[in-house]
Amino acid sequence: MIANDGLFISKPERLAALATRYALPTIFQFRTFAAAGGLMSYGGDLVDLYRLSGTYTGRILKGERPADLPVQQSTKVELIVNLKTAKALGINVPLNLLGRADEVIE
């Protein structure tokens, strides 16, 4: 599992290439990693997270106190599986996992 860190978020292609090079199955929080060649990602939808941030910003700009706003988190979670990478690593992804995936990259 690759930690959610600013350094790692900015280098999904490099991380995916290194993981494949060293035959390390990896998972990351955001879709960009699986799209860049990582094995899979599972986490909140960034668009949904940005929408929530925008809603909070709007409420604060309209005069609400930040301390009065409720704590919220993304309710949409995505599972993305990259079958091309799985094949390169010699991993057979179970069909029930593929059936639950929001997106399968081939």
Please give the single-letter amino acid code of residue 31.
R
The enclosing H or E element of 55 equals helix 46-61
The structural domains of the chain, with segments of one domain joined by +, span 6-45+76-105
Rounded CA separation 75/94 (Å)? 26
pTM: 0.78
Q: Quick one: how far is CA 89 from the chain centroid?
A: 20
Task: Identify the band that residue 72 occupies on the pLDDT scale cut at 50, 70 and 90.
Answer: confident
Does pLDDT of 3 surpass 90? no
The string of pLDDT tens digits covering residues 24-67 is: 999 998 888 999 999 999 998 888 888 888 999 999 999 999 99
Is the domain spanning 6-45+76-105 CATH 3.90.950.20? The answer is no
Number of Cβ within a 10 Å radius of residue 48 = 15
Can you say how many angstroms the Cα of residue 106 is from the centroid of all Cα atoms in its chain?
17
CB of 78 closer than 8 Å to CB of 42: yes
